[in-house]
């Protein structure tokens, strides 16, 4: 994937687009993460990004970029279909890493605290984060 394609994916979108993406992300984030946790090297950061994206205190542009990246992550069909073990989430990881670079510093301690609580409540995901 080249930077132009990733840049297109990460467009924040208007308010309606963000609302639609947020509904999709809320509905499909956790099941997708459970499937991908062992292939995403920064799952704790990904969970914190989820909480940042749904936090109304997060600036609109930042929410838009994160929602776009998370929507791409949960899409069942993307550049490299996620069903291909080991490489299926490679493009998702690239998009997420680019989003994290774009919004660096906006994922707050409260988002990491929420991620840690979610990991404590989901031992199957936490084991994947730890590589068990």
Helix, strand or coil, per DSSP, at residue 52? helix
Q: How many domains does the chain have?
A: 1
Distance CA 98, CA 32 (A): 19
Range of the domain at 22: 3-127
Among residues 99, 125, 132, which one has the least CA distance to residue 44?
Answer: 125
Residue 50 falls within a domain, yes or no? yes
Residue 94 falls within a domain, yes or no? yes
Residue 47 falls within a domain, yes or no? yes
Residue 92 falls within a domain, yes or no? yes
Residue 85 falls within a domain, yes or no? yes
Residue 63 falls within a domain, yes or no? yes
2 vs 27 pLDDT, higher one:
27
Element (H, E) at 48: helix 43-54
Please count the other Cβ atoms lying within 10 Å of the Cβ belonging to residue 83.
9
For 4-42, the pLDDT digits (tens) are 578 888 989 999 999 999 999 999 999 999 888 887 888
Residue 132 falls within a domain, yes or no? no
Residue 11 falls within a domain, yes or no? yes
DSSP code of residue 76: S
* Angle separating helix axes 90-102 and 60-74, nearest 10 degrees: 180
For 54-93, the pLDDT digits (tens) are 999 999 999 999 999 999 999 866 544 444 444 456 778 8
């Amino acid at each position: 994937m080249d930077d132009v394609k990733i840049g297109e994916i990460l467009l924040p979108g208007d308010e309606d687009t963000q609302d639609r993406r947020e509904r999709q992300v809320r509905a499909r984030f956790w099941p997708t993460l459970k499937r991908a946790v062992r292939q995403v090297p920064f799952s704790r950061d990904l969970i914190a990004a989820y909480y940042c994206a749904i936090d109304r205190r997060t600036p609109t542009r930042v929410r838009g970029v994160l929602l776009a990246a998370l929507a791409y992550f949960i899409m069942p069909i993307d550049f490299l279909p996620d069903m291909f073990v080991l490489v299926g989430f490679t493009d998702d990881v690239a998009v997420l890493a680019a989003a994290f670079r774009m919004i660096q510093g906006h994922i707050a301690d409260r988002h990491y605290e929420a991620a840690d609580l979610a990991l404590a409540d989901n031992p199957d995901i936490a084991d994947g984060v730890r590589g068990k």
